[in-house]
Amino acid sequence: MEKAPSLVFLCIQSIKTQLLRGCDNPIPDVYELPPHLFGDLIAQLPALALQNLQTDMPFKSWDDYELTDDCLKSGRKRGRNEKFHRAWKKLFKLRWPELVDSAKSGDWQQIYWERHLQNCLDEAAEAALRPLFSGRIGCINISDNILRYICHEDHANFRNCDCTELSFHFMKFGSYARCLRLLNVFCNTETCELMRACKLQSLVIRWIRSEEHVEPLCKLLTQNLETLNSLELIHCKLSPSVMNAICTSLLEKDMHTNGMQHFSIKTSSLEMDPVSFPSAFISFLKSGRSLLSLKFCDSLLDGHFARTVFSVLLDSSSNLSSLDLSENNISGWLSTFNWRSAADSLLAERSLRSLHVLSLRGNDLNKSDAENLAHALVHMPNLETLDLSDNPIEDDGIRSLISYFTNHPEYPLANLNLENCELSCDGVIDLLDSLSLLEKPLKSLSIADNALGSGVADAIGDFLASPIQSLNISGMGLGSIGFLELQRKIVKELMMLLNINISKNRGGLEAARFLSKLIPLAPKLLSADTSYNLMPSESLSLLCTSLKSTKGDLESIDMTGNSCSYRTDNDHPLFHEFQRNGKPIFVLPKSPASNVPYDDDP
């Protein structure tokens, strides 16, 4: 026989139902409950009921109520909002278990409703995008899948609840939304009204491709100007007039608001008239002392666009920290600057002192571009991170940079990415030499995916003696000979090394021997990627022996794509013996099918 429900349980059920009916009939008596019963109640309410209970709480009643608490007399004072805080966290965890760890905000009530509104919007978008949809966005029904979390578990039985429509959710919880992602269908006057209560800080907009969405978008921006500090446009078609309209709305900010900090355009088409840029866009770039990061990625931008942006920034007193122009076609962008005619000191009068990160990945930059960039570095005296990957700059290109570093050993560069730059062994040997002369040693370097061969191993071995933290030497054709040489070179402790990537090098058993020698020498090593190296099965026992003899922090050794016959079922001893934070250290090939040797020949 089923156990009979307790009286307390029945009371809580009844209060819950009343609370869900909303604010027309508040239940003041509930706030007079003794603390332990009130605590039980809070812990059992669905989100909407909890929200109503918290909102209707008479001011100060919590104080009065705690004074009558015996616990208080015995000196155990509890944080007043602690119970609500814990209840919100529990509800969040129940609904989005996978997001709990990544949720950075501690205000669980706020992120609960923000996330909830995003779920409602994503669901409503499906309805609004149907070709036959012609109704009002606010009237779109929210599914029981969502409602059962915030109202009743069996929501279908409560059809008369007024929470079925999207508009209810924005009216009630809109003020909790700080960050939202919106599709074009939500850029209309009706949605702007719906979102009146939102105080958005960050907005991601997708698929603005026709004029009709632009004005409502601008209205939405204006409406949130006080708080908005980040705007991202993805898959948009941005004509000069659209850019002008958007930037004009952003410029309406007065001096007292916080200002835009992050502006980003990705995978869009940005059609700029080469002769005259939209004036509001230029003013926006010039105006922003607040602007910290600018991104224009994967949007078919040409050298003219990049040059204009760069010179506007140089001439304004910008405080920009990060500029990302990756995946465009900006080759030639610095060619018309007249770097060589003046002395460094004169040139540096125009400068982007604040710039720390520059990404130029995937722009088809050649050796002339690299040479011009080397001249331009004097204008970026605090640059720490430079990404030039996926550009065919070749050895001549890298030599221009080398000569800059040689003449400016004080340059603060910390992270350099030169993946897939068509470099050769000689160029990289010179580079490694010059990098070791910098006053502040590099933290991370990637020279992956350049066909360097085993000849570079000796120089890499020397370089490993520098305090490098992260090194990527994947896909360079080191081979067994290269790894033999590397083994010979490492003799001293590598105190700073955190990550190393030696994947796709056809290293075979020698790659495993190198790694097993490296592990005890690198006490701080967190991860090693040795995938696709044609490693035979005895590699595993080599590495196990090496791991056993060290007390490092190593979290992961990626061994996928090697021709070994490891088993990955949970009975395998490796899973029990070698774990870190509940996860296995060895990432092994999943099935025999993924054991195929990786072929890195083009």
Ligand X SMILES: *[C@@H]1O[C@H](CO)[C@@H](O)[C@H](O)[C@H]1NC(C)=O
Residues numbered 442-481 forming contacts with ligand X, rule: CB under 6 A: 446, 448-449, 470, 472, 474-475
Neighbouring-strand partners of residue 357? 322, 385
CB of 318 to ligand X, least distance (A): 9
Contact 406, 439 (CB under 8 A): no
User: How many angstroms separate the CA atoms of 35 and 74, rounded?
Assistant: 15
Who contacts 176 (Cβ-Cβ below 8 Å, separation ≥6)?
109, 110, 112, 113, 114, 117
- Binding segment toward ligand X, per CB under 6 A, in 113-121, 265-273, 407-415, 441-449: 441-449
In the chain, the amino acid numbered 291 is: L
Q: Kindly state whether residue 318 participates in binding ligand X, applying the rule CB under 6 A.
A: no
Contact 204, 229 (CB under 8 A): no
- Binding segment toward ligand X, per CB under 6 A, in 60-68, 98-106, 324-332, 432-440: 324-332
Tell me whether strands 583-584 and 579-580 are parallel, antiparallel or unpaired: antiparallel
CB of 454 to ligand X, least distance (A): 18
Counting every residue, how long is the chain? Answer: 602
Q: Kindly state whether residue 499 participates in binding ligand X, applying the rule CB under 6 A.
A: yes
Beta-strand (E) ranges in 262-399?
Answer: 262-266, 269-270, 293-297, 322-324, 357-359, 385-387
Q: Which is nearer to ligand X, 244 or 420 (CB)?
A: 420
Q: Which is nearer to ligand X, 83 or 307 (CB)?
A: 307
Q: Which is nearer to ligand X, 226 or 558 (CB)?
A: 558
Q: Which residue is nearest to ligand X (CB)?
A: 472
Q: Kindly state whether residue 440 participates in binding ligand X, applying the rule CB under 6 A.
A: no
- Binding segment toward ligand X, per CB under 6 A, in 101-109, 118-126, 235-243, 361-369: 361-369
Q: Kindly state whether residue 269 participates in binding ligand X, applying the rule CB under 6 A.
A: no
Residues numbered 88-147 forming contacts with ligand X, rule: CB under 6 A: 135, 139-141
Contact 471, 495 (CB under 8 A): no
Q: Which of 22, 216, 288, 332 binds ligand X (CB under 6 A)?
A: 332
Q: Which of 178, 361, 367, 489 binds ligand X (CB under 6 A)?
A: 367
Angstrom CA distances, 279 to 54, 292, 321, stand at: 49, 21, 23
User: How many angstroms separate the CA atoms of 353 and 432, rounded?
Assistant: 26
CB of 396 to ligand X, least distance (A): 8
Contact 361, 449 (CB under 8 A): no
Neighbouring-strand partners of residue 324? 295, 359
Q: Which is nearer to ligand X, 218 or 402 (CB)?
A: 402
Q: Which of 324, 387, 529, 600 binds ligand X (CB under 6 A)?
A: 529
Q: Which is nearer to ligand X, 52 or 501 (CB)?
A: 501
CB of 417 to ligand X, least distance (A): 8
Binding mask 194-223 for ligand X (x = CB under 6 A): ------------------------------
Indicate the DSSP class of residue 142.
Answer: P
Show the DSSP H helices in 224-337 as ranges: 240-251, 279-287, 303-315
Footprint of ligand X (CB under 6 A): 135, 139-141, 289, 292, 302-303, 319, 321, 329, 331-332, 354, 366-368, 419, 446, 448-449, 470, 472, 474-475, 499, 501, 503, 527, 529
